[in-house]
Chains A and B, each alone.
Chain A
Amino acid sequence: MTPPTDLTCREMVELVNDYLEGGLAAGERARFEAHLSVCDPCTTYLAQVRETIRLAGRLTEESVPSEVRDELLRAFRSWKDA
Chain B
Amino acid sequence: MASPEDLQLVRALRAGDEVAFMMLVERYGPAMLRLARMYVPTRVIAEDVVQEAWLGVLKGLDGFQGRSSLRTWIFRILVNTAKTRGQRESRSIPFSSLWSPNPESEPAVDPERFRSAGDASPYGWLDRPTSWEGVPEDRLLSQETLDHIQASIDGLPPNQREVIRLRDVLGWSSEEVREALDISATNQRVLLHRARSKVRAALERYFQEEMTKA
| Residues of B close to A8: CB separation below 8 A | 114, 122-124
Q: Which of B18, B121, B149 contacts A59 (CB 8 A)?
A: B149
Contacts known (A18-B193, A68-B29); A51 close to B114, Cβ less than 8 A: no
Interface size, chain B (Cβ < 8 Å) = 57
Does B16 interact with chain A (Cβ within 8 Å)?
yes
**Interface SS of chain A: helix, strand, loop or mixed?**
helix
Give Cα A38 to B107, complex, Å: 23
Q: How far is the CA of A10 from the CA of B171 in the complex (A)?
A: 28
1/0 contact string of B7-36 vs chain A (CB within 8 Å): 000000000101001100111011101000
Q: Mark B152-186, 1 if CB is under 8 A from A, else 0.
A: 01000000000010001111001000000000000
A79 touches B196 (CB 8 A): no
A49 to B82, CA, bound (A): 33
Interface on B for A, CB 8 Å cutoff? 16, 18, 21-22, 25-27, 29-31, 33, 47, 50-51, 54-55, 58-59, 107-109, 111, 114, 120-125, 128-133, 140-141, 145-146, 149-150, 153, 164, 168-171, 174, 189, 192-193, 196-197, 199-200, 203-204
Q: Which of A's residues lie within 8 Å of B, judged by CB?
A: 1-2, 4, 8-11, 13-14, 16-18, 21, 23, 40-42, 44-45, 47-49, 51-53, 55-59, 61-64, 68-69, 71-73, 75-77, 79-80
